Structure 1
Amino acid sequence: MLDVRRLRLLRDLAQLGTIAAVAKVHTYTPSAVSQQLAALEREAGVPLLERSGRRVVLTPAGVVLVRHADTVLSALEEAGAAVAAAGDELSGPLRIGAFPTAVRTVLPAALVTLGRDHPGLELMVTELDPADVPEALRERRLDVALIHDYDVLPASPDHGLEESPLLEETVFLAVQAGTGIDEIRSTGEAAWIAGTPGTVCHAVILQLCHAAGVSPRIRHYADDFAAVLALVAAGQGVSLVPQLAAADPPPGVRLIALDARRRTRIAHRPGAAGHPAVVAFAAAVRASTDAYLSN
């Protein structure tokens, strides 16, 4: 009999690439992960891993087992969802992840709705970058999350997630009023305010600037869009902000709509789409998003 916990480790190795990365995700030592994978090989009766230089890679049998591991783990999620649906009312923790602009705009009303309609749920919100969501879902630190990417820089599909679209937002070029700038191409020697290197927001600025033939001169780094807009208002540079962050810009900021969209999706583990808590969250956040955008 194959141990499900060890199957999860093998699946994570296929996704993360190294035993050290798997150990970090599960707060194990690399030695403990190696021992668990060796035990899985004994259970399977065939080699699942082989050395390639200083790394380990999956054997053909390991690749086959990972495909089945995804099916098994998804089936366990579906089983948990079915059991939860058989109950009289929703109860227990619902761990929600969301990026900062969603936490400030569409999420609060959704939480109010969930608390009113399902008082037995223990709602727990974690603010985090979308890039950190897959790991948090795999580790079961989250049950459901809001993630985003941009149409000009689409995220690579993650087979460890199931996603459904929530909304698309216009992306704006934020400039100080009176500058005469009307598009990215005309930013010229203007300073830029960008997200921290490695974030999606930083990468999107580089992508759109390069597409417009501009080499952005980044002077300031800020990940909070309220701070970004305050810096723009103070004449410290230009930046990009999505619609949710641009609803109430400070005086002195002009917003120029661009032909680019930020796309937000609801994400959860495969097989969890039918879990009543996930269904309730999706309904609540869709209603709150529609209400927010209509105001």
Structure 2
Amino acid sequence: MLDVRKLRLLRELARRGTIAAVADALAYTPSAVSQQLTALERETGVRLLERTGRRVTLTPAAHGLVEHTESILALLEEAATDLENAARALSGVLRIGAFPTAIPTVVTPAIVALSTDNPGLGITVVELDPASVPDALRTEAVDIALIQEYDHVPVAPHPGLQTEPLLEETVHLAARRTESLSALRDTPWIAGTPGTLCHTLTIRACEAAGFTPSIRHHADDFGAVLALVAAGQGAAFVPDLAVSTLPPGVTLTPLPIHRRTHLAHRHGTTNHPAVIAARAALQNAAQTALP
């Protein structure tokens, strides 16, 4: 019989590309990952990996097994959901992943309501950059999470995950005075860390306006971003949830750009009672998060 843990490793190798990346994501050593995959080949009696020097690629048979693995994991999640539904009250631990600006405005009111209605349910909040949410869900580091996309940075569907709309915000141009975007082509910019959605948005939105931004500062906390704008250090893009407290000297200009937030969870957990309760609580909190 196939070992689900080994199948999960094969699936992650198909997604991440290297044994070292799989080991890092799942807290294994590279040698342990390699040994488990070799054991899986032995158990199946089929060659799953092609090894060329230090490189490893999946065979066609391995890719087919990965497709079955997604279905197998979803079925296991459904089985666990059925067991939870048989219980009279919610229990265990629910892990919620969220980006920083959503924690005080959406997640905190939601977990207060969840805890009040379900005192036996333990709730853990994990702060995550939206770009890392799919991996956190797939590796079961969190059970439900908030995932984002911007108009200029659409996110492709993620295998094994199911999403639903939660919130849509206007993105504003933050500067010392009211300006058009194109008028700031020679202004320094403040953007998120390279690799984040905010950093990519800054580049693509400015390019759409006809120029490449000169990014002087990198900051992922919007409070820090707005403080830098107030200090005359540059311009930045900020969404609605980030502007509840505006420093003196900062002017916001609404742009025809939107940030869309979705709830995401693994296939097979849609009907899990804790996930159902969390989805409802987060949807209710999102309705009052914006003015």
TM range (shorter): over 0.9
Amino acid corresponding to residue 19 of structure 1 in structure 2:
I
* Aligned counterparts, 1:1-295, within 5 A: 1-52=1-52, 54-177=54-177, 180-181=178-179, 183-293=180-290, 295=291
Query: Cα deviations across residues 52-101 of structure 1 (Å, max 9, x unaligned)?
Result: 56421111111111111110001000111111111100011111110000
**2-structure distance, mates of 1:276, 1:52:** 47
CA distance in 2, matches of 1:222, 1:28: 31
Whether the 8 Å contact between 2:74 and 2:160 is mirrored in structure 1 is no
Kept after mapping to 1: 8 A contact 2:99/2:146: yes
The 10-residue stretch of structure 1 (155-164 or 24-33) with the greater mean CA deviation from structure 2: 155-164
Separation in 2 of the partners of 1:250 and 1:212?
27
Task: Determine if contact 2:145/2:265 at 8 Å carries over to the other structure.
Answer: yes
Moved more, 128-137 or 94-103: 128-137
8 A Cα contact 1:49 1:58, kept in partner: yes
What is the alpha-carbon distance in structure 2 between the residues aligned to residue 236 and residue 39 of structure 1?
56
* Separation (CA, whole Å) in 2 of partners of 1:25 and 1:193: 30
Identity %: 57
CA distance in 1, matches of 2:190, 2:117: 42
| Cα distance per residue 1:37-62 (max 9 Å; x no partner) | 11111221211111256421111111
1:105 aligns to what SS in structure 2? Answer: helix
- The answer (yes or no) to whether the contact 1:173–1:241 under 8 Å persists in 2 is yes
Q: Is the 8 A contact 1:134 1:160 kept in 2?
A: no
Q: Secondary structure at the match of 2:96?
A: strand
Q: Could you tell me which amino acid in structure 2 is paired with residue 115 of structure 1?
A: S
Q: Deviations over 1:95-130 (max 9, x none)?
A: 111000001211111011001111111111111111
Structure 2, unmatched stretches of 5+, are: none
Q: How many residue pairs were aligned?
A: 291
Counterparts of 1:45 and 1:234 in 2: how far apart (Å)?
65
- Conserved? CA contact 1:74–1:271, under 8 Å: yes
The alignment partner of 1:106 has SS state of helix
Q: Is the 8 A contact 2:95 2:144 kept in 1?
A: yes
Q: Which amino acid is the alignment partner of residue 214 of structure 2?
A: R
Question: Which deviates further from its counterpart, 275-284 or 228-237?
Answer: 228-237
Q: So what's the TM-score if we normalise by structure 1?
A: 0.95
Residue type of the alignment partner of 1:236: Q
Instruction: For residue 132 of structure 1, report the CA deviation from its aligned partner.
Output: 1.7
Q: Structure 1: 5+ residue runs without aligned partners?
A: none
- Secondary structure of residue in 1 paired with 2:189: strand
What is the Cα deviation at residue 243 of structure 1?
A: 1.0
Displaced runs of 4+ in structure 1, greater than 4 A?
A: none
